[in-house]
Amino acid sequence: MLRSSGRRALLQESVIRIRRLQMRGAITGLLAAVAIGSLSAPVLQQEKGGDDRTGPYDVVQGWPQPLAFAKPGYIWGSTGGIFAESPNRIFIANRGELKLPDKLPPNFTGFWGSFGEQATTPTPEFRNCIVVVEGAGRAVESWTQWDYLFEDGRGPHSVLMSPYDPEHNVWIVDDIHHQIFKFTNDGKKMLMALGVRDEPGSDATHFKRPTDIAWLPDGTFFISDGYGNTRVAKFDGNGKFLLTWGTRGTGPSQFNTPHSITIDRNRRVYVSDRANNRIQVFDENGKWLDAFPNIQQPYNIRISDDQFLWVFSGPLDKMLKYDLDGHLLYAWGTHGTAPGFFWAVHEFGADADGNLYTAEVFGGRSQKFRPRAAADSTHIYRPQPLTPKSASMSTQTGIAPPVFDAPVAGAPGAEKFSGAWKLVKAEPEVTAGRGGGARGGGIGGPYAETIFNQAPPSVVLTHAAGKVSVQIGSASASYTLDNRTTWSTPGDVNALKTRAHWDGAKLHLHFKQGMNWGRDVLSLDGPTLTIVRDLESGGASTTRTMTYTRTS
């Protein structure tokens, strides 16, 4: 028994020794393989120091250069959008020019945000709204022939190209005028105009402050619509309306400011539901698939070429990277106006070299970031490449450019609106305060007490000799019924501007002051006056229906 036990113990010890030798050999082989691998492939060295304020990039100082086309004493305005066609051709959607104060503070960096004031606060002069810069940031083109499109608005909201378009046509979204334009790549021809200027709606031919566009390979495109509407609209490649989905609310397929839109390779449509702090996912026919909650105000969203979802969060001033199931993978960004910091990036893009471009709506600038050599490549945003450019652009057929302020016929019947009117009902009701949202409307400051009153308790209308006067409290506005714009103080960008026309049944009154816009549509039914009032200010949009009864 002892001999048998001793043999078993000796055998077990031998097995253990053999296993130890085998493990040592395996480890030695693994170390050798690692050593060989280290010789055949570079090792990513972690940088020393730094605080990651610009993530995996270095900011390109002095980019872009001062706008050479600007009027003396003026600079770049609020920057709505940016798109890099190539490393040497970058489109900037510039919301007009801003006049500099006579005395500049020592911390002025060349952009409005360095004053500590949002670049959307002052009223711009609408010049050089679509600008092309080369790689070093020097402006080489300005499509001034189209500046008139943005008059009395707030400038272009975003600039885009379809990645599937071999002609690299340029699309511009104009939210405040409720229109979208498509141009040839050189800007010489307008190819398409969607929406009706200053006439909001939610049908096949109208928008209410659209925001962004995304495409399928066959040219079908989707529009997020927008600040006023709460829907996505789908069109074929020729601009024919196909379908729409979305209502106001917080449930699935409901929106509160659908502000950006993008599509992955599986044709899933991602919509930035900005004021609901989430991103919703749909199939191409509007079927709800998923939602990614708790993303603070996603201003702009894009699917990268390697199929990740990149987001810029406005309140956080950060770039966020998610997988397509909504899991956060990486984030970077620092709030501020110093180079490399962010103040409300409204649109971002990248070129084929990996350079990142950002457009700041509050900072009033665009920036260029160059990938650092030692950066983790998975942290670099790379867009879907554009289809190689064709040479057939010269054969494209343009459309007749729109003509604004064109005179209209007289206004027989408009005199019936004359009289004093008292408010009976307003839907939705007006609550105390002037804040944003469905009730407040976003009109603040002195404007809320004047012609922009949310629901005027009384209105006096006077029609005579083709002119209409509107009296609200102590404020008044005068209109000429010929569809032409009238300035209360000619040449003053902050003056009240009015424009009106009579369509034979309804009276349309448009008014603008500073960065506030309004439109009233008046109709009569016996003794009852109905006014549908649209008020717009920045990101706020309100529609209210008011009924009045005649008092004299």
Check: CB of residue 450 under 8 Å from CB of residue 469: no
Q: Which structure tokens are listed for 391?
A: 């040479």
| pLDDT reading at 466 higher than 50 | yes
Supply the pLDDT for residue 479.
93
Count CB atoms within 10 A of the CB of residue 26.
10
Distances (CA, A) of 107 to 19, 31, 110, 188, 328: 71, 56, 9, 40, 36
Mean pLDDT of 412-436: 81
Mean pLDDT of 534-545: 89
CA–CA separation, 348 and 107 (whole Å): 26
**What pLDDT is attached to residue 391?**
78
pLDDT for the residue 21: 37
pLDDT over threshold 50, residue 33? no
Check residue 229 and give its pLDDT: 97
CA 149 centroid distance within chain: 17
Topology adopted by domain 57-378: Neuraminidase (2.120.10)
Lowest mean pLDDT among 252-256, 285-289, 536-540: 536-540
Q: Reply yes or no on whether the pLDDT at 261 is more than 60.
A: yes
- Nearest-5° Cα angle at 158, 152 to 161: 135
User: Token pair 């105390």 is at which residue?
Assistant: 432
Q: In which band, very low, low, confident or very high, does the pLDDT at 449 lie, cut at 50, 70 and 90?
A: low
Q: Of residues 205 and 391, which shows the higher confidence score?
A: 205
Residue 37 has pLDDT above 60, yes or no: no
Q: If DSSP states are collapsed to H, E and C, what string results for 152-218?
A: CCCCCCEEECCCCCCCCCEEEEECCCCEEEEECCCCCCEEEEECCCCCCCCCCCCCCCEEEEEECCC
The least confident of 57-71, 188-202, 359-373, 468-482 is: 468-482
Quick check: 503 and 520 in contact, CB under 8 A? no
Predicted confidence (pLDDT) at residue 40 exceeds the cutoff of 50? no
Cis ω before 457 (30° cut-off from 0): no
User: Is residue 513 a contact partner of residue 537, using CB atoms and an 8 Å limit?
Assistant: no
The angle subtended at Cα 111 by Cα 105 and Cα 114, nearest 5°, is 50
Region 440-459: what's the mean pLDDT? 71
CB 175 within 8 A of CB 258: no
Phi, psi of 519 (to 5 degrees): -145, 130
Query: What are 397-400's contacts with CB under 8 Å, separation 24+?
Result: 397/189, 397/191, 398/184, 398/188, 398/189, 398/190, 398/191, 399/189, 399/190, 399/191, 399/192, 399/193
Q: Mean pLDDT throughout 386-394?
A: 84
Question: H/E element holding 268?
Answer: none
pLDDT of residue 395: 81
Cis peptide bond upstream of 349, omega within 30: no
Q: Give me the count of residues in the chain.
A: 552
**What pLDDT, on the 0 to 100 scale, is given for residue 13?**
46
pLDDT recorded at residue 412: 78
Residue type, 182: K
Superfamily holding 414-550: Calycin beta-barrel core domain (2.40.128.20)
pLDDT tens, 72-116?
999 999 999 999 999 999 999 999 999 999 999 998 999 999 999
Count of C-beta atoms within a 10 Å radius of residue 18: 10
Please state the separation of Cα 370 from the chain's center in Å: 23
Structure-model confidence comparison of residues 433 and 174, the more confident one: 174
Identify any residues that bridge with 288 across adjacent strands, giving them in sequence order.
282
Mean pLDDT value of segment 117-131: 96
Residue range(s) occupied by CATH 2.40.128.20 in the chain:
414-550
Positions of CATH 2.120.10.30 in the chain: 57-378
Query: Can you give the C-alpha Rg of the chain in angstroms?
Result: 29
| Secondary structure string (H, E, C) spanning 58-85 | EECCCCCCCCCCCCCCEEECCEEEEEEE
Quickly state the pLDDT bin for 30 (edges 50, 70, 90).
very low
| pTM of structure | 0.89
pLDDT at 29: 42
List beta partners, residue 271.
261, 280
In this structure, of 153-167, 281-295, 507-521, the range with the lowest mean pLDDT score is: 507-521
3-state DSSP assignment of residue 378: helix
Strand partners, 181: 172, 193
Q: How much is the average pLDDT of 356-362? A: 98
Among residues 300, 220, 223, which one has the least CA distance to residue 260? 300
Judge contact between 461 and 419, C-beta under 8 A: yes
Write down the pLDDT at residue 450.
76
Q: What is the mean pLDDT of the chain?
A: 89
- DSSP structure class, residue 13: H
The mean pLDDT of 361-380, rounded to a whole number, is: 96
Please report which confidence band the pLDDT of residue 299 belongs to, taking 50, 70 and 90 as the band edges.
very high
Label residue 444 by pLDDT band (50, 70, 90).
low
pLDDT band at 406 (very low <50, low <70, confident <90, very high): confident
Question: Do residues 292 and 326 lie in contact, with contact meaning Cβ atoms separated by under 8 Å?
Answer: yes
Q: pLDDT digits over 129-179, tens only?
A: 999 999 999 999 999 999 999 999 999 999 999 999 999 999 999 999 999
Q: What per-residue confidence (pLDDT) applies to 20? A: 43
- The answer to whether 485 and 440 are in contact (CB under 8 A) is no
